[in-house]
Copies of this chain bind each other. A is one copy, B any other.
């Protein structure tokens, strides 16, 4: 172990609950008395199919997912889903609406343009704001409306679910999935990579409404065809079995800790304390994000002192074991990520450091 206990504030892959890692470690060579590792089990075995079903049930309970939604385990990350969403949904009208509020929704729109016409709903996006819905240019003939519920790089989070009438709503929740309850029935598709709030990288969960299956473009790879995956209960081909097992353990950890309502309350307290430190710093720390759309999970900020101050802040944090705090290369500054596994205590240590640093810097 390093001399100081590490506190990992990274944006992802990110901290996992220690309790879950200890469980995974304990049964790494012998899952549930089978005498073998989860990694060694056939994906067609009764033991694995139980894991597959238990994992889905656990998530269905956490989010009250209605029966007319399928839970799909997929590979290829969020970037894979950017293509898959368009390949599966855009054929109805040939076009889709994209609400671009940051780095990831912009990438999603670019990938989707390979498969149809992409309308940018907010042509004059200024990162750090979300224009009022009354100004959006939604197209009546869009196959779907797409947005990113939380922009990991930019720190912008939707405080509401957009209203799109009968047009199916699709959202990338990769960085805030399971950090608050939401009404699944408002969506056509919700997807999220695991590596922020609920597991290791290498798996994406997609929640897909029944009636949206079966319209994939003819050249859709089988492993990206929602209908095929749904039909085979996410065992179309060999799934990432270790990931399915691990995210199930995290789902159960969330359940034991108050469910998504518990995560939401902790998220409120954690992010609230960081934003309070920014506000109380009288401009020493600056958030470039509008107050009403500030992310609860990814908080980018800059120091008034500029890059030198950023560097000294990071150096001091590092001495305290606080790691992966550097802002995204495209943004700079500091970014603290407060995903589900980050504790209130860890957040308090960070906030205390923020407060101390304002007075200790260049005195």
Contact = CB atoms under 8 A, between A and B. Distances in A.
Interface string A215-249: 00111111110000000000011111111001000
16 contacts: A6-B36, A10-B40, A12-B238, A15-B36, A16-B37, A35-B321, A36-B323, A75-B75, A75-B202, A78-B237, A79-B236, A79-B237, A202-B202, A202-B239, A202-B242, A240-B240
Interface of A: 1-2, 5-6, 8, 10-16, 18, 21-22, 24-25, 28-30, 33-37, 39-43, 45, 75-80, 82-84, 87, 111, 114-115, 193, 195, 199-203, 217-224, 236-243, 246, 321, 323-324
How many subunits of this chain does the assembly comprise? 2
Given A18-B29, A29-B22, A77-B237, A114 B200 contact: no
A3 to B, nearest CB: 9
3 nearest CB pairs, A to B: A202-B240, A6-B35, A83-B221
Among A12, A87, A115, A221, max chain B CB count under 10 A is at A221
Contacts of A82: 221-222
Contacts of A24: 28
Nearest to A4: B35
A349 B139 CA distance: 68
B240 A5 contact: no
